[in-house]
Amino acid sequence: MEPQKPSLRCCTICPRNCGIDRIAGQMGFCHGSMLPKIALVSTHHWEEPPISGTKGSGTVFFCHCNLRCVFCQNYKISAEGFGKTVSIERLSEIFLNQQDKGVHNINLVSPTQFIVQIASALCLAKNNGLKIPVVYNSNGYESAEMLKILNGLVDIYLPDFKYWDDEIAIAYSEAPRYASIAAQAILEMRRQLPQDVFDTEGILQKGLLLRHLVLPSHFLDSFKILDWIKASLGIDTYVSLLRQYTPMHQANTIKALSRRLTTFEYEKVTEYFLNIGLKNGFCQSKRSAAQEYTPIFNLAGVEKNSSNTKGENVW
Ligand code: SF4
């Protein structure tokens, strides 16, 4: 079956199905406009080793979001919308500029609300010589049907699986049915890219790497997500267990989220991962839970002749 033809005239790009006309300037839940909006183009060294490698990952941070995570570390661009609108042509040029810098991949961060514009920019960039892998780095709250337009354009899916419990998903991200929606989206990602392929240096070239941010007070929710991964994707699935939770944005308004994760909680989840037989995991060091690892959104690399940024490794 052909993928559904997406239209910004009646936006159903993501599971929110707002139905608004983005071309006429109407605003839906995410606040995404007709053209892509970005806040930072950088070389990122803090992603998982097969993504950042030695040369870094060429991140492009998109503005706005279809979730409302109370603990969002990127709230300046997700909730407050800091960023700059660019044309499809400029976006494709940014992808090619990143490639010229010698990074391992193009890393599309929070891309969901601009999936259609990104697909157009990727087609253009590929026609103009984009060769390095493209990473789709999303929050998991995706329409499985809409992801079909990325088939053949994206090489690596890097989705979050944030919550299992619906009450938590609603309370922390205003995301009803998060688990069932993310599960369907991830199955579609795996369908498109059934094999994980690494180069001789261990850098991922094609495949799926799932992320789960372990939250304070909720390690049982993490267990359920790991159970689903094992049952639905298999024990060889690559999973990154993030330890970097820091109470930012509005997190202090919720008691359970108003503190950092303890070593006990994180180790509960890593032990469970091993006990149920999952084989391919990445874990983070304790020092990853620091505000200084939050990117500085300053429009670097967005306009022509602006430079980008670097950082140190926390894995
Ligand atoms: S992409 Fe934005 S406007 Fe479109 S359905 Fe999702 S939240 Fe609504």
- Please report, in tens digits, the pLDDT of each residue of the chain (315 residues total): 445 567 899 999 999 999 999 999 999 999 999 999 999 999 999 899 999 999 999 999 999 999 999 999 999 999 999 999 999 999 999 999 999 999 999 999 999 999 999 999 999 999 999 999 999 999 999 999 999 999 999 999 999 999 999 999 999 999 999 999 999 999 999 999 999 999 999 999 999 999 999 999 999 999 999 999 999 999 999 999 999 999 999 999 999 999 999 999 999 999 999 999 999 999 998 877 666 667 899 999 998 866 654 444 444
What was the pLDDT predicted at 304? Answer: 82
Distances (CA, A) of 253 to 162, 257, 290, 293: 19, 8, 19, 22
* Homologous superfamily in CATH for domain 32-293: Aldolase class I (3.20.20.70)
Q: What are the backbone angles phi and psi of residue 165, rounded to the nearest 5°?
A: -75, 130
What was the pLDDT predicted at 7? Answer: 84
Q: Which of 13, 62, 147 to mutate to test the pocket of ligand 1 (most atoms within 8 A of CB)?
A: 13
CB atoms within 10 A of CB 53: 19
Q: Give the Cα separation of 7 and 133 in Å (integer).
A: 26
Reported as type and span, the H/E element at residue 226 is helix 219-233
CB atoms within 10 A of CB 281: 15
Domain borders along the chain are: 32-293
CA-nearest of 182, 145, 154 to 166 is 182
Q: Which of 22, 113, 143 to mutate to test the pocket of ligand 1 (most atoms within 8 A of CB)?
A: 113
Tokens of 135: 């990473």
What was the pLDDT predicted at 306? Answer: 67
Residue 192 CA, ligand 1 centroid: distance in Å: 23
Q: Which of 66, 115, 173 to mutate to test the pocket of ligand 1 (most atoms within 8 A of CB)?
A: 66
- Ligand 1: atom nearest CA of 8 is 4
Minimal-distance CA residue to ligand 1 atom 1: 113
What was the pLDDT predicted at 309? Answer: 47
Residue 38 CA, ligand 1 centroid: distance in Å: 17
Count of helices and strands (H, E) across the chain: 9, 10
What was the pLDDT predicted at 292? Answer: 61
CA-nearest of 28, 37, 33, 29 to 297 is 37
Minimal-distance CA residue to ligand 1 atom 2: 30
Residue 223 CA, ligand 1 centroid: distance in Å: 30
Q: Taking CB atoms and a 6 Å cutoff, what residues make up the pocket around ligand 1?
A: 11-14, 16-18, 20, 28-30, 32, 66, 113
What was the pLDDT predicted at 6? Answer: 77
Residue 183 CA, ligand 1 centroid: distance in Å: 19
Residue 123 CA, ligand 1 centroid: distance in Å: 22
Q: What are the backbone angles phi and psi of residue 134, rounded to the nearest 5°?
A: -110, 125
